[in-house]
Amino acid sequence: MNENTINTLYEAIPLPQDGSSNGQQRQDRQADTFELKRETLVTTDPPRPTINLDPRVSIYSGRRPLLTRTNIQGRVYNFLERPTGWKCFVYHFTVFLIVLICLIFSVLSTIQQYNNLATETLFWMEIVLVVFFGAEYVVRLWSAGCRSKYVGIWGRLRFARKPISVIDLIVVVASIIVLCVGSNGQVFATSAIRGIRFLQILRMLHVDRQGGTWRLLGSVVFIHRQELITTLYIGFLGLIFSSYFVYLAEKDAIDSSGEYQFGSYADALWWGVVTVTTIGYGDKVPQTWIGKTIASCFSVFAISFFALPAGILGSGFALKVQQKQRQKHFNRQIPAAASLIQTAWRCYAAENPDSATWKIYIRKQSRNHHILSPSPKPKKSAMVKKKKKK
């Protein structure tokens, strides 16, 4: 509606009735029956306030949206927790190499020839790693706020309770304590710091923060659980019985040094485990022919069953990887199929002027006249009468 609009109102003024039949008077009455009264009303609308709308940025335009706090948190979270792309790979692989070098210097510090150089270098490397891992832990905790379940203080605590976050915190705190309490540069040779470095290696090996690798392993074990349980159960029974028979045959045998090789059933079990796992330390060997015969039969039988889980898991991993490859190939075809459906629909919508969206089947009214209703079936009594007449 414009600011100035003209509205014309018409009002009818009735005149007294007249019964004259003269044509001129009839025309006068018709002209005077409705006296048009025109009123011009000028209405003005109040000015509307101007609304400043921010221009929308399309995903196909060259302009980039402004980075907000949530967007920055999301990018940092995806970079640290969901690494994809070559940049994330370079970052995580570099951190892994640094930790691995630190571990190598820890090993060199235990060698007398490289003790002084490795200890001094390791001290400064440990300080750098503690500062770096502490800052990374704080950044991870801050960036987790981009997800709804990690918003707020309770959400941050939920993120900190994750197993990998707990390991990160333990590594940082323990390293700080060891650096502060230790003296004479010998703190790196303690078992505590070696355990801490082992946790750091586990942390760097766990590149997949979402646990996809462990889920893959768990799914393979779960799918083939019946076969694994069967083979392990039979192999365990073979280990127990064969070890007992070897113990009965070798408990009184004495070796060349004058000692009993199988003085207890525990020694026989140790020999059985070493044998079925194909390690063969050679610290315990049957001396009698009966014991050697039992050990030979046991080795052929038990080792075959203990080797079956490796083949089962290997085939399961191969099938799972093949399934994932098919799923990836199928996911690549989804955008093409969606684009094909959209294109077909646009062609249909552009060429078909009908208001209906889809017309699978239209029954015209004219066809209804040609459809004949099926004749009713004859009653059973009538059919019986016809048969009797025949």
Nearest alpha-carbon partner for 218 in 205, 209, 228? 228
Nearest alpha-carbon partner for 179 in 101, 135, 123? 123
Cα(193)–Cα(122) distance, rounded to whole angstroms?
A: 12
The yes-or-no verdict on residue 329 having pLDDT over 80 is: yes
CA-derived radius of gyration, the chain: 45
Query: What number of residues does the chain have?
Result: 390
Residue 253: band (very low, low, confident or very high) from pLDDT cuts 50, 70, 90: confident
DSSP 54: P
Counting residues of the chain whose pLDDT is more than 90, the rounded percentage is: 2
Q: Which is more confidently placed, 276 or 16? A: 276
Which of 6-10, 23-27, 151-155, 192-196 has the lowest average pLDDT? 6-10
The yes-or-no verdict on residue 61 having pLDDT over 70 is: no
Fold of 68-210: Four Helix Bundle (Hemerythrin (Met), subunit A) (1.20.120)
The yes-or-no verdict on residue 265 having pLDDT over 60 is: yes
Q: What is the pLDDT of residue 43?
A: 44
Could you tell me if 242 and 302 are in contact, meaning their C-beta atoms sit under 8 angstroms apart? yes
Would the pTM of this model clear 0.85, i.e. be above it? no
pLDDT, tens only, 337-378 = 888 888 888 887 777 665 555 554 454 444 554 544 455 555
Average pLDDT over residues 111-140: 85
Which of 43-57, 89-103, 222-236, 351-365 has the lowest average pLDDT? 43-57
Look at domain 215-326 and name its CATH class: mainly alpha
Which of 49-63, 124-138, 285-299 has the lowest average pLDDT? 49-63
- In the predicted model, what is the mean pLDDT of the chain? 73
E strand map for the chain: 5-9, 39-43
Q: Which pairs from 181-189 meet CB under 8 Å and 24+ separation?
A: 185/119, 185/120, 185/123, 186/119, 188/106, 188/109, 188/119, 188/122, 188/123, 188/126, 189/109, 189/110
Q: What is the pLDDT of residue 42?
A: 42
Within 82-211, residue ranges assigned H as helices are: 86-108, 115-143, 152-160, 163-181, 191-205
Nearest alpha-carbon partner for 202 in 313, 76, 103, 104? 103
Q: Which is more confidently placed, 294 or 367? A: 294
Domain positions in the chain are 68-210, 215-326
Residue 129: band (very low, low, confident or very high) from pLDDT cuts 50, 70, 90: confident
List, in sequence order, every residue forming a beta bridge with 9; answer none if it has no partner: 39
User: Please, what sign has the CA dihedral across residues 193, 196, 202, 203?
Assistant: negative
Q: Which pairs from 34-40 meet CB under 8 Å and 24+ separation?
A: 34/10, 36/10, 36/11, 37/9, 37/10, 37/11, 37/13, 38/8, 38/9, 38/10, 39/8, 39/9, 40/6, 40/7, 40/8
Q: What is the pLDDT of residue 366?
A: 47
The yes-or-no verdict on residue 2 having pLDDT over 70 is: no
The yes-or-no verdict on residue 5 having pLDDT over 50 is: no
